[in-house]
Amino acid sequence: MVETGHFALVLAFALSLVQFVLPLVGARTGDARLMATGGPVAVTGFAMTAISFAALTVAYVLSDFSVLNVVENSHSQKPMLYKITGTWGNHEGSMLLWVLILTFFGALVALFGRNLPATLRANVLAIQGLIGAAFFLFIIATSNPFVRVSPAPIEGQDLNPILQDIGLAIHPPLLYLGYVGFSVCFSFAIAALIEGRIDAAWARWVRPWTLAAWVFLTGGIAMGSYWAYYELGWGGFWFWDPVENASFMPWLAGTALLHSAIVMERRSALKIWTLLLAIMAFSLSLLGTFLVRSGVLTSVHAFATDPSRGLFILMILVFFIGGALILFAWRANTLAPGGIFAPISREGALVLNNLFLSTAVTTVLVGTLYPLVLESITGEKISVGEPFFNLTFGPLMVPLLLAVPFGPLLAWKRADLWAASQRLVFAFGGAVLVMLLTYSFIDRASVLAAFGIGLGTWLVLGALTDLAAKSGIGNVSPGVALRRFAGLPRSAYGTALAHLGVGLTTLGVVGVMSLQTEHILTMKPGDSVAVAGYEVRFEGLQPYRGPNYTEDQGRFLLLNSSGRTLTEIVSAKRFYPARQMPTTEAGIATRGVSQVYIALGDAVEDGAIVVRIWWKPLVTLIWLGCVVMMVGGTLSLLDRRLRIGAPAKRRKRLAEEAAA
């Protein structure tokens, strides 16, 4: 089985080369048969990669310790879920997952791209093939997961305990679906540059891929953030860690691309810019892969690494980003410019969005790479962390978020800012009210907290105003408005929900950053402490034995102000003997949208233990907001206009009508 997987991997590499060469030559020479090879080859390449991936998964499930990768990252006593997810919980396996998703997207383009112009489809598949070839070569040459070891050891070295969590089942696959999803946008952009032609139809083909990748990436980042929050025991949801930034940059670029593609599709404007963003979104994904996989940075994700791999990925990175930008510089001026518009218009608002988002990407990029560059030039070692990003990223986001509710209310081409403002009066009034209430009743010390909460409310109410305005509430009778509301295109709900999600996430971030309280203290059994109107009582420590770990469980009771027990919170210090490694399992109780978070420290004398308790107001909104954004993105994806295959049907119907 292992050799089958290895063989399938090499076959997939060969197929990716075929997928690159044949359709590309076909598109150059106008040979329809050569161009048509792209589709079947892409699908077969995906099947081979899937076989290869399945073979590695089977080796993990059966704990086949004759495979080096399994020995290094698995253990026979590990629960089945973590045996399966352990397949991609290591460098080699995660790269295999990367190419699996890459070929999966290639196969999707082949299957759903039947209505694309033949040369565009051939070129897109060729570029997907080239990306695939580079990464297959990387895996086979430096990161082969199928290497055997002889003699086979009796037992494996176990998976890093931090990764033994449901988060590993969800976070990397979602993140990779996002990263790699942008490869399709990239391939479309390169194909357009090769052909020297780009139009509104191109944007319509690219937008669903961007949306899909964006939805997955949103989910992947949110899941990673929640995982770090509960697993690392530091209670933080975002550390501005280089690897987090690496996933955040493609997200920002992807968000910008999402918005500029709308302008291009509707108004044929911003063509060259959209193309550049498509290239940048995937380039930043590649950069993310490089930063995570090369271990050049100190981070949560930096495990022991081999420098030759970093160099190889760096070469792939330089080749694709450099090649794409050179092609862009050479060909972009052959593309016809698009329509013009007034600054105050929907297009103008979307350009503003792009200006802010791309500046934000640049800021995060500078903050992430500056330490690397400085060290390689001067040898000085510095770290750029949260204070830097709070000072630069924060001020960029505030005006952008303030402007968001205006965007969807502005008309295309030339809009009336005054009319839009009048519609937003209720949202504005609501936000100011909430701001004043926060200031007077919750936190008199922090103006920033009040402002932030007001900003989040403004976004939420603004999104609702958008839906109300589109269904004509206030102008027409309630019955008509309700019918109009039900009949709105899905993309209208999508926009409103995505913006509402941003508002919720903002509320959560502001809530935690400016209103959280922290208590670090030593507690003996029976001690209690007041936390944000609740009482937390320490009941005592109890040993517990898990399948491949032992732990000391600290049991706490959460009581309300009148002394009634609300729930029990169990926080533990775990120890994994296979790796001789302790982990912290935080105890969390959710009250409404806020949480009480308890992490255990070291035991001190006579049964007392150091305990860290946080009150995290509104914290769950951070991730709920992301889920709402994902729902919004998915609804937009399901919109009739974007449905894959829909243009073909309409064209057919038009043709039939013309014939009749």
Partner 1 sequence: MMRRKRKRLTIIAGGLTFLGAAAGLTFYALGEKSSYFYMPADLATASIAPGQRIRLGGLVEEGSVERGGGTRVAFGVADGGGQVKVVYDGILPDLFREGQGVVTEGTLGDDGVFVADSVLAKHDETYMPKEVADSLKAQGVWQPE
Contacts by residues 324-332 (CB-CB < 8 Å, ≥ 24 positions apart): 324/186, 324/189, 324/190, 324/279, 324/283, 325/279, 327/190, 327/193, 327/194, 328/193, 328/275, 328/276, 328/279, 331/193, 331/194, 331/196, 332/193, 332/272, 332/275, 332/276
Closest by Cα among 544, 534, 605 to 567? 534
Q: With contacts defined by CB under 8 A, how many residues of the chain interact with partner 1?
A: 48
Of 239 and 451, the one with the shorter C-beta distance to partner 1 is 239
Considering the complex, what minimum distance in angstroms separates the CB of residue 345 from partner 1? 13
Among 50, 140, 149, 302, binds partner 1 (CB under 8 A): 302
| Contacting range for partner 1; rule: CB under 8 A; set: 24-32, 453-461, 482-490, 515-523 | 515-523
Q: How many CB atoms lie within 10 A of CB 3?
A: 10
Among 147, 201, 326, 366, binds partner 1 (CB under 8 A): 366
For the chain, how big is the Rg over CA atoms in Å?
Answer: 27
Contacts by residues 105-110 (CB-CB < 8 Å, ≥ 24 positions apart): 105/180, 105/181, 105/183, 105/184, 105/209, 106/19, 106/42, 106/45, 106/46, 106/132, 107/42, 107/43, 107/45, 107/46, 108/184, 109/42, 109/184, 109/187, 110/38, 110/39, 110/40, 110/42, 110/43
Considering the complex, what minimum distance in angstroms separates the CB of residue 158 from partner 1? 11
Of 272 and 610, the one with the shorter C-beta distance to partner 1 is 610
Give me 485's structure tokens.
């509301």
> Binding to partner 1 by residue 267, rule CB under 8 A?
no
> Binding to partner 1 by residue 582, rule CB under 8 A?
yes
Closest by Cα among 118, 91, 250, 98 to 185? 250
Give me 114's structure tokens.
């039947």
Of 142 and 392, the one with the shorter C-beta distance to partner 1 is 392
* Whole-angstrom distance, CA of residue 121 vs CA of residue 108: 12
Stretch 597-636: interaction string toward partner 1, x if CB under 8 A = --x-xx-x-----x-x------------------------
- Let me know: does 360 contact 252? Beta carbons within 8 Å: yes
| Contacting range for partner 1; rule: CB under 8 A; set: 75-83, 102-110, 175-183, 365-373 | 365-373
DSSP annotation of 439 reads I
Site for partner 1 in 83-112 (CB under 8 A): none
Site for partner 1 in 384-403 (CB under 8 A): 384-385, 387-388, 391-392, 395-396
Give me 311's structure tokens.
């160099």
Give me 614's structure tokens.
């946080």
Site for partner 1 in 151-180 (CB under 8 A): 160, 162
DSSP annotation of 153 reads P
Considering the complex, what minimum distance in angstroms separates the CB of residue 253 from partner 1? 16
| Contacting range for partner 1; rule: CB under 8 A; set: 292-300, 445-453, 543-551, 616-624 | 292-300
Of 66 and 392, the one with the shorter C-beta distance to partner 1 is 392
> Binding to partner 1 by residue 376, rule CB under 8 A?
no
Of 35 and 253, the one with the shorter C-beta distance to partner 1 is 253
- Let me know: does 507 contact 450? Beta carbons within 8 Å: no
| Contacting range for partner 1; rule: CB under 8 A; set: 32-40, 93-101, 103-111, 594-602 | 594-602
| Contacting range for partner 1; rule: CB under 8 A; set: 218-226, 402-410, 576-584, 624-632 | 576-584
Closest by Cα among 178, 183, 180, 176 to 278? 183
* Whole-angstrom distance, CA of residue 561 vs CA of residue 645: 59
Considering the complex, what minimum distance in angstroms separates the CB of residue 513 from partner 1? 16
Considering the complex, what minimum distance in angstroms separates the CB of residue 608 from partner 1? 9
* Whole-angstrom distance, CA of residue 348 vs CA of residue 413: 8
Of 118 and 302, the one with the shorter C-beta distance to partner 1 is 302
Among 304, 486, 659, 660, binds partner 1 (CB under 8 A): 304
Label each residue of 211-265 as H, E or C. Answer: HHHHHHHHHHHHHHHHHHHHHCCCCCCCCCCHHHHHHHHHHHHHHHHHHHHHHHH
> Binding to partner 1 by residue 147, rule CB under 8 A?
no
> Binding to partner 1 by residue 249, rule CB under 8 A?
no
Give me 93's structure tokens.
């396996």
Site for partner 1 in 544-563 (CB under 8 A): none
Among 14, 40, 148, 298, binds partner 1 (CB under 8 A): 298
Among 16, 183, 210, 363, binds partner 1 (CB under 8 A): 363
Name the site residues for partner 1 (rule: CB under 8 A). Answer: 160, 162, 233, 295-298, 300, 302-304, 343, 355, 359, 362-363, 366-367, 370-371, 380-385, 387-388, 391-392, 395-396, 520-522, 573, 579-584, 599, 601-602, 604, 610, 612
